Chain A
Amino acid sequence: MSETLTTKRGPKAPSRAAVRYVLRRLGQAVLVMLLVVIGSFVLVKMSPGDFVDTLAGTSEMTADQMASLRARYGLDQPVPVQLLYYMARLVTLDFGFSPANNAPVIDVIAKRWPVTAILVIASVSISMVVGTLLGVMAARNAGKPVDLGLSVLMLVFYATPSFIIAVLMILIFSVKMNVLPIAGFASIGMGYTGWDYFKDVAWHLVMPVSALCTFYIAIYGRIGRAAMLEVMKLDFIRTARGKGLRERRVIYVHALRNALLPLVTMAGLQVSALVGGAVLIETIFGLNGMGRTAFDAVFQRDTNLLLGVVFISSLCVVVVNFGIDLLYMLLDPRVEVK
C-alpha cells in the first residue's frame, strides 16, 4: 500500500485523483478476492480425499452410502464444474451448505464470526494502547533503568509463543487459583443477558485475549519507542518546547501523533494476522471462532465452509487495509493519494 502514497505539500481536497484511487483499490480488492476463492478451492480439491471420505472414516459406511452422499453434496461432479457452480452461487452471496456442521455455511459463519471479531478487536486495541504507552514510557526514559526494564519485559513478551503464555495462564489462574474459566465464550445455560452477559464474556476472554496480546504489546512497544525517539529529535518538537508547552502535551499530542504512523501500519498487519491466525488460541480455549473453523474445515474437507471462511476473512482484511490507508490521511495531512 505504501507505494501508492506520496508525501506532497499543498491543499488537501477530495479530488478526482482520490476517487480514482478508491476505484482502483476496489478493483484490486475484487481481483484479490477472486484469486483467493479460486486458489483455495483448487488447493483443497488437490488434496486427496473429500468430505465423504472423512465422514466414512469416523462413521463406517458402505460404498453405496458413500456414493449417495457424494451425489447429495455434488462431489461426484468434475472439479471445474464444482468450481463454476460455487462461483455462480457466490455471486448471489450463497455460500452453500456445510455438511460437517449440517447447517448452511452462512449460519455457521454468523455464529463464529463474532467470537473472532471480539478477540481481534480486544487484542488489537489492548495491545496497541498498552504497547504504545510502554513504548512512550521507554522513550522518555531512554537509557535509564526504566527503559532497560521495559526492554527486557518486551523481549520476553516478544520471544514467548502465545500458546506457552496460554498454558501458563491456565495453570496459574485456573488449575491453581481457580478464578478464570478455561474454555468457552460464555457460561453455558446460565441465561445471562445485558450487562451480566457482557461481564461473563469478558471474564471468559481474559486469558485468550491476554495470550494474543503479549507478542503485539512487545511489537508496539518497540516500534513506538523507536518512532518516538526519532520524532523527538525533530525541529517541531523543539519549537513546541520553545513555545513553553508542557512536556506532557509535547509528548502525547505533538510527538505521539507523528509517531503513530508505523503503529497504525502494524495494527493493519495485526488484524490480518489474527483473523485467521488465532487457531491455536481458539483451540486451547475451546473458542469456536473463524480460525478454528477454517482449521477443522480443512481437515474435514468441508470445502464450502472453508471457502466461506476464507472469503469473509479476506474481505475483512481487504477492508481493514483500505481503512488503514484512509486513517493515514487523517493522521498525517502530508500523506495524500497520487
Chain B
Amino acid sequence: MKAPSFTLGRRAFIASLAASTALPMASLPSRLLAQEAKAGGMLRTVAWPAPTVLNSAISTAGTESFIAPKMFDGLLAYDTGLVPRGQLAESWDIAEDGLTVTFKLRDGVKWHDGTAFTAKDVAFTFMEVLKVIHGRGKATFAALEAVDTPDDLTAVFRLTTPSPAMMRALDSRESPILPAHIYEGTDIQANPANTAPIGTGPFKMAEYEVGSYIVLVKNPDYWDAGLPLLDRIIIQFVADAATRASMLEAGQIDGVFLNMLPAPEILRLDALPDFERDTKGYEAMPSAQQLDFNLDNEYLADIRVRHAIAHAIDTDWITQNIWYGLGAPGKSPLHVDQKEYYTTDGVPSYDYDLEKAKALLDEAGFAPAANGMRFSLMLDPSPWGTESIGAAPYIKEQLRQIGIDVTIRTQDFAVFTTTVWTERKGDLVLYTVNLGVDPVIGTQRFYWSKSYNPGVAFSNGAHYVNPQVDALLEAAQVELDPAKRKAQYAEFQQIVMADLPVLPITNIFGANIVNVKVKDTTIDALGALGGFSRAWIDA
C-alpha cells in the first residue's frame, strides 16, 4: 500500500500535524498551552481606504484608527471588560465630586525624536487638539475645562461636570498623546508630522508611500521594557477585498483585521487549517447596522407606521443571511457587547409578523390603493461595505408585502451623506455605524435632540425630539454612580425602542482573520486598534 502522507499538500500536512497533537494537549491546563512569545519577525497586513494622515487625533477614520495607535500611546489602556490600565499614566485619581482627575505620568518616556515626554504634552493634546479638532473629542471632552501641570509628571484634569465617558476615551486610538514640541504654535492640521508621526508608541514610522503602503519598525527605546516583540509591521493599502483574501490565502500577508474581508471570505478562510478567526477586542468599537426613520416624513411621523415596518422586517433573517451570522439581531439602541448598559428587560420588541404590520397600517388610516400599495418611501442604503446594499432589496420586498412601495436609491459616499444629512431627502436610511466605547460617545448623537444638525453626517438623522430622553441622556452624561447610570440607560432603551425613531437591525461582531502563526494581536479591549506591542510571529 502506498503511503498517503507523501502526496499530502502543505495545508493537509499541517492539518494532520495539528490533529495528531490536539488530543494529548487537550488534557493539559490551558496556561501550559500558552507558548513562549518570541521576539523578532515581521507582520504584514492590509488596510483600506488609504489614510489621509497618520494621526488618529486629527482624523477618526478607520485606517487612521488602525495605524496611528501603533505609533502613539494614550494615557490609559483598557483590559477586556474595559477595565482601565495605565499606559502613559502610571496612576490616576478621581476626586469624590468627579470634577478633578489627577494623572501621575510615567517617568523616562521618550518621544521618537528623543525628547522627553512631559505633562505639557498631555495638556496641549487635550486642550488644543482633541477638544478642537478630533471629530468626537469635542463632545467627549466637552466638560474638560483645563489641564493643570503642577510638575512635569502630573496632569490635573479640571472638569465642569463629572464625565464618566471621558474616562473611557483615554486610549491610544481615541486620545493619542501628541508631542507639544512638534505641534505647538503651528497649524495643527497642516503640520508635516501628521504624515511623519513622532509618538511615544511601540513602533516608529520607517517608510511611507502615500496611498500605497507604510512600514513601521520597532521603537528600541519603548518604555515598556522588552516590547514590542515584532521588528516590523508592513501595512499595504489594497482596495479590492477579493485581492486581500487572496493575499492572505497565498501567504503574502499574515492577517486581515477589522472586518476588512467580506463575511463569506472570513468564514471560508476560517475553515482552512492555516487560518483562525478572532472576534475579541471589539469592545472599544461596537458597531451596528440600523435603519433611521425620517420623522419629518408625513407617514413615518406616525408611530404605528414605524411599528408596522419593525414587524415587517425580520432582523434575524438579515443577521443570518446578510451578515452570515457575524452579528446579533438588534434589540436595543446599544450594542449587545456594551454589557454594562445593554438590556432587553422591559424593552419593547417587534416580532416578525406581517399581519400585525398590516393591521397597524390600517389602524393608522393608510388603506391600500387599487394596486395594493398604501404609500411610497425612499430607502437609502449606505455605500460602504456591501451589507446595507445587500439588505436593501430584502427590506423593499418585505415592505411591499405590507403595502409600502419602496424605491432603493444607491449613491456614492459623498452623495449619500449629502442627500441624507445635509439635504435631508431620505425617508428610510440603512447604514452601519460605530456605536462608540460609551453611549455618550457613540449612541447619544442619534437620539439627543440637540444633535439634530443638518449638514453633519451621523447626527440625529431621524430628527427625534423627546425631552424625557434628552433629560436621561444628559443626566447619564454626568452620572458617576454606575448603578444610577445603568438605570438611566435602561430607561433610555425602553423609551426609544417604544418610540422607535431608529430600528436597530444587526449588532455587528467584529472579526480578524489571521494566519495561525500570528499570535497575540488581541490582548485587550482595543484589539487590533491597539499598539500590537505584544503581537508576535510563531515562525
Contact = CB atoms under 8 A, between A and B. Distances in A.
Contact of A59 (B135, B207, B237): B135
A112 interface: yes
B455 A285 contact: no
B43 to A, nearest CB: 12
A182 B250 contact: yes
B213 interface: yes
Contacts of B242: 167, 284
Contact of A111 (B62, B209, B251): B209
Interface residues of B, number: 55
Interface string A94-125: 00000111110001100110000000000000
Which of B46, B236, B455 has the most C-beta atoms of chain A within 10 angstroms of its own C-beta?
Answer: B455
A54 B413 contact: yes
B238 A286 contact: yes
Interface string B241-267: 011001101111000000000000000
A183 B414 contact: no
A27 interface: no
A301 B252 CA distance: 32
Contact of A284 (B64, B240, B456): B240
Given A54-B413, A59-B60, A59-B64, A286 B236 contact: yes
A288 B212 contact: yes
A112 B211 contact: yes
Nearest to B207: A189
B61 interface: yes
Given A55-B52, A102-B52, A188-B234, A49 B417 contact: yes
B365 interface: no
Nearest to B10: A178
Given A53-B422, A102-B52, A301-B414, A184 B243 contact: no
A292 B250 contact: no
Contacts, number: 153
A92 interface: no
B223 interface: no
B401 interface: no
B485 interface: no
Contacts of A108: 210-211
A167 B245 CA distance: 12
Interface stretch (A60-68, A133-141, A143-151, A324-332): A60-68
A174 interface: yes
A288 B211 contact: yes
Given A57-B414, A101-B52, A188 B215 contact: yes
A48 interface: yes
A178 B251 contact: yes
Interface string B393-427: 00000000000000000001111111100110000
A48 B418 contact: yes
Interface of A: 47-50, 53-63, 65-66, 69, 72, 99-103, 107-108, 111-112, 167, 170-171, 174-175, 178, 181-185, 188-189, 283-286, 288, 292-293, 296, 299-301
22 contacts: A47-B415, A48-B419, A49-B413, A53-B417, A55-B61, A59-B59, A59-B61, A61-B457, A62-B135, A62-B453, A66-B455, A108-B210, A111-B210, A167-B242, A178-B251, A184-B212, A188-B207, A189-B207, A284-B240, A284-B242, A286-B237, A299-B413
Given A62-B456, A189-B206, A286-B237, 16 more contacts: A48-B418, A49-B415, A54-B413, A55-B61, A58-B62, A59-B61, A59-B64, A61-B135, A61-B456, A101-B52, A112-B211, A188-B234, A189-B207, A283-B240, A288-B209, A300-B413
